[in-house]
A and B are shown apart, each in its own frame.
Chain A
């Protein structure tokens, strides 16, 4: 992953989101040790304090847990916590933007729902082929 440095998301949030993606796609299993702040700092050429902030964010959200002196590990419920969080935050945010854009373009609610259904079947068709 290349970090986005154009001022958008703070680096520690990008680090946290990258680790979440690694957990979601199974690269880290429950009770497996994740990278230390120093490993992350080297991997992404970032300050270790920034990397630590990303790890702390995941600990605060109970996605990681600490073993004293050993580092941080993936919590058993990590996947479901991340999925819930993304549903409530990321997906809602995307929906908000979609609805706002539809309003700007005078797309009616029904039209929008039809478009979403069409998109859904189009993407699912792609999966099967």
Chain B
């Protein structure tokens, strides 16, 4: 069953700016999807529309077969955790848990309290006074313990140190295995997150660029390093995702894996290296303005 169906979604902000202009995709139930894109690609906007916070301009959005905007069914079964989550300043951390328990039918207080202790929170702390990383950690606990059918994390690891981030990925995975549900995570740390993902949805300038299992991203491209006179005729006519001059005679290019025979490439003296899913996403969303090196020329 499909948890999310998005058809020709249009979202305008202001008179002229289209965040989305005909975005279509669907997400299967009980999968973990990474929502990846550059700054300003529309990740947050998409999550806010799916959570029912913002209204779509045109097109159709369905979450569990219902339109999420202004919909009590959607808000009871969806949670969006982002940096802007606001909790009443008069409540202590444990009082926030009690309030969340009242709202979310699947709330697991035992899990919430165990994570609370694991991450050394004090019951009478106030959310507003927590450090940035502690805030993110607390919000993440709310996201996991609510056990919503659709759980979304927008940049959940902002401010978390490396140890907490790694704990978070493991907690997310363990709780997902025990209680399968549809999870979407946006992150700029794809290399840390990718192992727990099933699919990646890569968006850019409000369009869907690629929506595929994580392994397809890992096998999508290869890097070739070699002498220019060998490399240039070899990649001629193929789609070059990225290229970089190493020195006067040597260059590095990234092309689609399916476009070449690796055996032949190695035989003619090119060295072949893998390209990570993270780099594939960067190259696919590169703008025409050239690489960072061009700025320093």
CA distance A97 to B267 in the complex (A): 9
- B196 contacts which of A7, A9, A47 (Cβ < 8 Å)? A47
- A46 contacts which of B191, B195, B213, B275 (Cβ < 8 Å)? B195
Q: Which segment, of A19-27, A37-45, A77-85, faces chain B?
A: A37-45
B170 and A7 form a contact (CB under 8 A): no
Which of chain B's residues have a CB closer than 8 A to the CB of A49? 31, 198, 213
Whether, in the assembled complex, B214 has its beta carbon less than 8 Å from a beta carbon of chain A, the answer is yes
What are some 22 contacts across the A-B interface (CB < 8 A)?
A: A5-B191, A5-B194, A5-B276, A6-B274, A7-B276, A7-B277, A8-B274, A9-B274, A10-B219, A11-B215, A38-B177, A41-B173, A41-B177, A45-B173, A45-B196, A46-B196, A47-B214, A49-B31, A49-B198, A49-B213, A50-B214, A104-B269
Whether, in the assembled complex, B169 has its beta carbon less than 8 Å from a beta carbon of chain A, the answer is yes
Whether, in the assembled complex, B32 has its beta carbon less than 8 Å from a beta carbon of chain A, the answer is yes
Q: Tell me the count of chain A residues lying within 8 A, CB to CB, of chain B.
A: 24
A12 and B215 form a contact (CB under 8 A): yes
CA distance A100 to B270 in the complex (A): 11
Which of chain A's residues have a CB closer than 8 A to the CB of B197? 47
CA distance A97 to B263 in the complex (A): 10
Which of chain B's residues have a CB closer than 8 A to the CB of A62? none
Contact with A along B182-193 (1 / 0, CB 8 A): 000000000100
* Known A41-B173, A50-B198; 17 more pairs at CB < 8 Å: A5-B194, A5-B195, A6-B274, A7-B274, A7-B277, A10-B215, A10-B218, A10-B219, A11-B215, A38-B177, A42-B173, A42-B174, A47-B173, A47-B198, A48-B177, A50-B214, A104-B269
Nearest-Cβ distance from residue B216 to partner chain A, whole angstroms: 9
Enumerate chain A interface residues (CB-CB to B < 8 A).
3, 5-12, 38, 41-42, 44-50, 53, 96-97, 100, 104
B267 nearest CB neighbor, chain A only: A100
Nearest-Cβ distance from residue A128 to partner chain B, whole angstroms: 37
